[in-house]
């Protein structure tokens, strides 16, 4: 019988006086796909760090099979000690690790390797950290929120890469679609314990709800039993004559059992303060264009946004989503075309970049804008402690500085600050970052019940499918197209999801590209002759057959899509084929690049 690569048993950990983990258990088999889910603050990231060997628990055991390689992706990677992204990635290779995958990963993630960590964006640092983690192809991959700061093309590429990987996967993510597509077993972090479901995340929420319902039923039965025992002690015949010591002790035990029960944390009471009704027309764009430094980001776009619309805007990073959003809101002028804004607009932007938050503020100061102990929610004054409770903050956190809050807590704070203001035009700019699944559910309900107009910019496919009725998708070269329905509906209508913008090297002139190739060839020619390693020779022999198989599969999938009635007959099957085709094409491209690099290395060694 196969033995686990990694085992955690009876893990105990307490921060201060509050137990975080109480008897947590975890095992990871070879090639297994697990996801860790639970509320923000439930201990998911802490348990992952214990599994990675980065934190020592107060009690319990961690066992790793000898020879097992583990790589861990942190939520906030630190590149400050490195001169370039490439040096940071290469520093992650240890022992017998081979860096032959680094060029492929850099290209796939849109990096050159020469980026300076001092000026890199959060998204670039996240991509570099992914390349560092994926390059060695370890036995166990531990990924903490890997989709944070990534755009849709990068998320879908990563999903395909992990699906093809032979590594065991231990994953934390708020992206439902990502979890559903990759997980095969679900570990629920609940009140310090781990509960396991031998199914993917797609089955988790129904299972969790049934578990909590049964727990509530058991609690109700226990309360009734206590009531019966109390009645017997007070009114029973033997109770009047002589107290039955055994039953009194049993009653005390039942009461202690109730006191020991951990209650499920409440849900956030998120609501929005609605303003007066806007005009029927919110925004009208006719043949609008906008360019920056000679690059057109919006080219001849026409769009109508009316009261009550639920509009999603999707595209890769740098495609112009924020520019388009600012033009719709009247915050930026177009270079050409006509923009008409509606009347009585009261816009509210919930910006998950959190640029407005002073890290030195306390939580209470951020809630009140440093204005006492009251929060103005619309026209009503609410005590800050009560408002904090609505968003699942504890009273003792009132004086906590913002820089000490977790990413999820900062996300809830941003929602709390934004939703207290009256509005009739709600703009959600990446609202799902760092929010736990329960808070996401409530945010979706808020959008569904909102009487005004909603515009959502998001890379979360599931959130878009659940909230928007129209999707404005980036088509490339400044072109945008409107589709009915959510993100999945857009894919069904046009045949593909969001694709990355053309890379900079593809946008260069042929002359510049030729000069680069000549420099690369000269560098190879001047390099000392090197022998192919056994691993390289093996890959060179293996790759042609692998590429032939991929090409054959691609041909078969393309033949299926050629059937004009395929989507009508089987829309789910159609979407699955589209997804498989993207994965196959990406894999073939990477194999071809790897084969070319190895062939050049072989010729140089010959």
Average pLDDT over residues 167-191: 94
Asked if 413 and 424 touch (Cβ cutoff 8 Å), the reply is: no
Give mean pLDDT, residues 106-111: 90
Mean predicted confidence (pLDDT) in 441-455: 84
| Positions of E strands within 56-197 | 59-64, 70-73, 140-144, 168-172, 185-190, 193-197
The pLDDT score that the predictor gives to residue 253 is 62
What confidence score (pLDDT) does residue 261 get? 55
Range with the poorest average pLDDT among 82-86, 107-111, 220-224: 220-224
Per-residue pLDDT, 356: 61
Bridge partners, residue 409, by sequence: none
pLDDT level of residue 504 (50, 70, 90 thresholds): very low
Average pLDDT over residues 432-447: 78
Does the fold of domain 266-346+422-507 match that of domain 6-205? Answer: yes
Is the domain spanning 6-205 CATH 3.40.50.2000? The answer is no
Beta carbons within 10 angstroms of residue 319's beta carbon? 25
User: CA-CA distance, 310 to 170, in Å (whole number)?
Assistant: 35
**Which of 325-334, 520-529, 534-543 is least confident?**
520-529
For residues 554 and 193, what is the distance between their CA atoms, to the nearest angstrom? 45
CATH code 3.40.50.300 for 266-346+422-507 = yes
Could you tell me the residue ranges of all domains in the chain? 6-205, 206-260, 266-346+422-507, 530-605
Angle, CA of 298, 353 and 149, to the nearest 5°: 75
Q: Residues 482-501: what's their mean pLDDT?
A: 86
Selected residue with higher pLDDT from 309 and 191: 309
Q: Which of 413, 271, 417 is nearest to 349 (CA)?
A: 417
Share of the chain above pLDDT 70, in %: 82
How many alpha carbons fall within 13 Å on the CB side of residue 541? 7
Task: Give residue-wise pLDDT tens across range 10-28.
Answer: 999 997 777 889 999 999 9
- Between residues 106 and 603, the one the model is more confident about: 106
pLDDT at 240: 43
Contact call for residues 282 and 309 (beta carbons, < 8 A): yes
Q: What's the average model confidence in pLDDT over 385-395? A: 83
Residue 527 has pLDDT above 70, yes or no: no
Which pair of structure tokens corresponds to residue 158? Answer: 């990563």
Is residue 554 very low, low, confident or very high in pLDDT (cuts 50, 70, 90)?
confident
Instruction: Give residue-wise pLDDT tens across range 52-105.
Output: 999 999 999 999 999 999 999 998 899 999 999 999 999 999 887 888 899 999
Choose between 335 and 409: higher pLDDT.
335
Q: Which of 70-84, 199-213, 249-263 has the lowest mean pLDDT?
A: 249-263
Reported in sequence order, the residue ranges of 104-229 that DSSP labels E, i.e. its strands, are 140-144, 168-172, 185-190, 193-197
Residue 557: in which H helix or E strand, if any? helix 534-561
Residue 517 clears pLDDT 70, i.e. is over it: no
Query: Looking at per-residue confidence, does 6 or 403 come out higher?
Result: 6
CATH of 530-605, one of 1.10.150.250, 3.90.226.10, 1.10.287.540, 1.10.287.380: 1.10.287.380
What's the confidence (pLDDT) of residue 354?
A: 55
Packing angle of the helix pair 152-164, 571-605 (nearest 10 deg): 80
């Amino acid at each position: 019988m196969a033995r686990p690569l990694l085992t955690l048993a009876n893990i105990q950990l307490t921060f201060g006086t509050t137990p975080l983990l109480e008897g947590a258990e975890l095992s990871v088999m070879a090639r297994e796909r697990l996801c860790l889910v639970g509320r923000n603050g439930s201990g998911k990231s802490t348990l992952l760090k214990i599994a990675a060997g980065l934190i020592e628990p107060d009690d319990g055991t961690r066992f790793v099979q000898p020879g097992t390689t583990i790589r861990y992706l942190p939520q906030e990677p630190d590149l400050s000690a490195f001169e370039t992204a490439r040096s940071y990635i290469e520093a992650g290779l240890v022992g017998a690790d081979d860096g032959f995958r680094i060029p492929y990963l850099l290209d796939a993630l849109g990096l050159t390797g020469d980026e300076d960590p001092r000026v890199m964006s959060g998204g670039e640092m996240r991509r570099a950290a992914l390349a560092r983690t994926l390059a060695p192809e370890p036995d166990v991959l531990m990924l903490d929120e890997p989709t944070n700061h990534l755009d849709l093309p990068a998320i879908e590429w990563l999903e395909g890469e992990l699906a093809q990987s032979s590594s065991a996967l231990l994953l934390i993510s708020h992206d439902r679609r990502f979890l559903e597509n990759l997980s095969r077993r679900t570990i629920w972090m609940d009140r310090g314990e781990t509960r396991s479901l031998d199914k993917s995340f797609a089955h988790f929420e129904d299972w969790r709800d049934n578990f909590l319902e049964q727990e509530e039923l058991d609690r109700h039965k226990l309360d009734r039993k206590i009531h019966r025992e109390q009645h017997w002690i007070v009114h029973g015949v033997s109770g009047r004559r002589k107290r039955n010591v055994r039953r009194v002790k049993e009653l005390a035990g039942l009461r202690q059992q109730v006191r020991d029960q951990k209650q499920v944390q409440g849900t956030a009471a998120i609501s929005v303060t609605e303003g007066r009704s806007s005009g029927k027309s919110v925004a009208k764009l006719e043949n609008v264009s906008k360019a920056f430094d000679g690059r057109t980001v919006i080219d001849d776009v026409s769009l109508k946004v009316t009261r009550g619309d639920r509009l999603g805007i999707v595209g890769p990073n740098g495609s112009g989503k924020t520019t388009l959003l600012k033009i719709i809101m009247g915050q930026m002028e177009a270079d050409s075309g006509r923009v008409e804004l509606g009347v009585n607009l009261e816009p509210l932007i919930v910006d998950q970049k959190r640029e407005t938050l002073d890290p030195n503020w306390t939580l209470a100061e951020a809630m009140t804008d440093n204005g006492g102990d009251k929060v103005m929610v619309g026209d009503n004054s609410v005590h800050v402690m009560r408002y904090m409770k609505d968003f699942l903050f504890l009273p003792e956190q009132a004086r906590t500085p913002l820089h000490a809050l977790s990413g999820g807590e900062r996300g809830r704070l941003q929602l709390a600050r934004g939703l207290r203001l009256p509005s009739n035009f709600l703009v959600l700019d990446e609202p799902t970052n760092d929010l736990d699944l329960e808070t996401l559910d409530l945010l979706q309900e808020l959008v569904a019940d909102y009487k005004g107009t909603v515009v959502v910019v998001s890379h979360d496919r599931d959130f878009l499918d659940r909230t928007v009725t129209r999707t404005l998708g980036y088509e490339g070269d400044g072109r945008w197209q409107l589709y009915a329905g959510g993100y999945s509906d857009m894919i069904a209508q046009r045949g593909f999801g969001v694709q990355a913008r053309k890379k900079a090297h593809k946008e260069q002139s042929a002359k510049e590209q030729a000069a680069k190739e000549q420099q690369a060839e000269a560098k190879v020619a001047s390099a000392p002759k090197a022998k192919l390693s056994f691993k390289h020779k093996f890959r060179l022999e293996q790759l042609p057959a692998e590429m032939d198989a991929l090409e054959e599969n691609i041909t078969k999938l393309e033949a299926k899509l050629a059937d004009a009635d395929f989507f009508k007959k089987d829309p789910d099957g159609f979407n699955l084929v589209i997804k498989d085709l993207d994965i196959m094409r990406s894999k073939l491209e990477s194999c071809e690049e790897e084969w070319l690099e190895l062939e050049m290395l072989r010729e140089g060694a010959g």
